[in-house]
Amino acid sequence: MKLPSPAALSTALAAVIVLVAPHAAAQNKAEVIHWWTSGGESAAIQEIATAYKNAGGVWVDSAVAGGDAARAQAISRIVGGNPPTAAQFNTSKQYHDVIAEGLLNNVDAVAAKEGWESFLPAPIISSIKVKGHFYAVPVNIHMPAWFWYSKSAFQKAGITAEPKTPDEFFAALDKLKAAGLVPLAFGGQPWQENITFQDWLAQAGGAELYLKFFRDRDAATVASPAFRKVLTDFKRLKSYVDPGSPGRNWNDATSMVITGKAGVQIMGDWAKGEFLAAKQTVGKDFGCFPGFGPKSPYIIAGDVFVFPRTTDPAMIKSQQLLATVMTSPTTQVAFNNKKGSIPIRTDVDTSKMDPCAQLGLTIMKDKSRHLANPDMLITPDVAGALTDVITKYWNNDQSVDDVVKALQAAIKGS
């Protein structure tokens, strides 16, 4: 066998050195996996990246399109021994299995220094604090079911005030239908059908019924007359959507409201970005209300970052720095303004936030209106089974009895 020439050998050696070198160099390097790949979301995560760089860190972005794909990749890498510095999850039970396996570093030091126990809402604390230790850094609070409406559509239909009860809401939808508009802009995808049902349960059924179902997983509640009314009314909403709704993306439905073709959309506060991108203003072109009446429940959802287990001191330092930067007041305002969500802390400068976000923040100060998102109360497995039942109910002519039975089976889980 002929030995490779000296030139080839030295080139190979140089290549090896070049590949190995970066591992020794960067200070406070943080590789972050997340799924914020759309225009607005990307701009939002850039705010955190800039803040981290200004604090002396090096940000390495690992964006993966699609929440499921990003979480799957994060978990695979954590288990495989090549973990990122931080990974994004929803404020939920998605990462509790990972905590149980002891594969996450805790952030108790940052939590104590910033005083999280004093200002974070209770539902969020119960998702990030497991067995007395904090394992995730919350970065925002999303409310997955605001009511967005087009001012011009409401004017055309002769609706003068925002509906304060479910009956008023149905009356408004009837008026919109009579005016020849699409009453409810809707996208027929399982997750959208799901959040519409969850919101209707919270708003029309009430926080008590909602918690009995999602938190206590009480099968008897499902068969109660109040719950059955929620199911019937939920299906009644379907008569107000247009025939092109199956499979439609959420932002296509939002554009129906933006252009005034449709009246209302029930969608999370991330929809606000679409209105703002279309240069519309709150109060003039579109309106927003979070529920029926002044004491309506405010569903809390959001995103967190977790920090995979590592004993490498440099990586631990990066993780601590990331956690501090992500929760600082200035970063919170900058990030959440671009994201459409509201900051996790109430002691921030609200002057730069738009009226809908300011309303959300004011509501957050009222602890009695806090309501945990179902993802914080049930495992992804049960959540998936419920989604299957709801989407089948929405798309088929099923009797309420059948749906009740299916929901009872699904909420039991494994």
Partner 1 sequence: MEPIERKRAQRGPRFRWALNLALLPMALTVVFCYVGTMLWSVRISTTTSRTFPASDFVGLAQYVRLFNSERWLVSMENMVLFGAVFMTLTMLIGFLLAVFIDQKVRGESVLRTIFLYPYAMSFVATGLIWQWTLNPELGLQSALRRMGLTGFTFDWIVTQDKVIYTVAFAAVWQASGLVMALLLAGLRGVDDEIWKAARIDGIPAWRVYLSIVLPMIAPSVATALVLLFLSVVKAYDVVVAMTGGGPGTASEVPAKFILDYLFGRANIGLASAASTVLLLTATAALAPWMYARSRRERRVQRGAA
Residue 141's contacts (CB-CB under 8 Å, 6 or more residues apart) are: 121, 124, 300, 301, 302, 341, 342, 343, 344, 360, 364
- Least distance in angstroms from the C-beta of 280 to partner 1: 24
CA distance 245 to 350: 37
- Least distance in angstroms from the C-beta of 67 to partner 1: 8
Place of tokens 């002929």: 2
Report H helices in 201-282: 207-214, 219-222, 225-236, 250-258, 272-277
- Least distance in angstroms from the C-beta of 232 to partner 1: 18
Which residues form the interface with partner 1 (CB under 8 A)? 68-69, 71-72, 75, 79, 94, 97-98, 100-101, 188-190, 243-244, 246-247, 379-381, 383-385, 388, 391-392, 394-396, 406, 409, 414
In this complex, which beta carbon is closest to partner 1, that of residue 74 or of residue 357?
74
The answer to whether the CB of 108 falls within 8 A of the CB of 61 is no
Going 337 to 148 to 71 to 20, the CA torsion angle's sign is negative
In this complex, which beta carbon is closest to partner 1, that of residue 120 or of residue 253?
253
In this complex, which beta carbon is closest to partner 1, that of residue 257 or of residue 323?
257
In this complex, which beta carbon is closest to partner 1, that of residue 173 or of residue 389?
389
- Least distance in angstroms from the C-beta of 332 to partner 1: 29
- Least distance in angstroms from the C-beta of 224 to partner 1: 23
Residue 86's contacts (CB-CB under 8 Å, 6 or more residues apart) are: 30, 31, 32, 33, 305, 306, 307, 308, 319, 322
Residue 121's contacts (CB-CB under 8 Å, 6 or more residues apart) are: 141, 300, 364, 367, 370
225-236 vs 166-178: helix crossing angle, rounded to 10: 20
In this complex, which beta carbon is closest to partner 1, that of residue 81 or of residue 243?
243
Angle among Cα 141, 143, 149 to the nearest 5 degrees reads 140
- Least distance in angstroms from the C-beta of 182 to partner 1: 12
- Least distance in angstroms from the C-beta of 45 to partner 1: 22
In this complex, which beta carbon is closest to partner 1, that of residue 297 or of residue 308?
308
In this complex, which beta carbon is closest to partner 1, that of residue 93 or of residue 129?
93
CA distance 224 to 216: 15
